[in-house]
Amino acid sequence: MRFIKDIFKLLKETTWPTRKESWLDFKSIMEYTAFFVVMIYIFDQLIVSGLIRFINIF
């Protein structure tokens, strides 16, 4: 029973982010995700075009 009591105590002592901080974090995550999606797409297109050229040689 002490374990559960300690969990609630720890949760009360935790400093939770404000609404503004949460939105800033969410926005940052979306920006990083979009950046890496674009980078992976570009890399994928380069690989595919290179493979198609390589296949057309033979």
Averaged over 3-19, what is the pLDDT?
A: 94
Res 31: pLDDT: 98
Q: What does the alpha-carbon distance between residue 54 and residue 9 come to, in Å, rounded to a whole number? A: 63
Res 27: pLDDT: 98
Asked if residue 2 has pLDDT above 80, the reply is yes
- pTM score, two decimals? 0.63
Please report, for the chain, the start and end positions of each structural domain, with discontinuous segments joined by +. Answer: 16-57
CA 11 to chain centre: 25
Res 50: pLDDT: 83
Res 42: pLDDT: 95
Q: DSSP for 9-38?
A: HHHHHS-PPPHHHHHHHHHHHHHHHHHHHH
Q: What does the alpha-carbon distance between residue 3 and residue 5 come to, in Å, rounded to a whole number? A: 5
Q: What is the pLDDT of residues 15-54, one digit of tens each?
A: 999 999 999 999 999 999 999 999 999 999 999 888 777 7
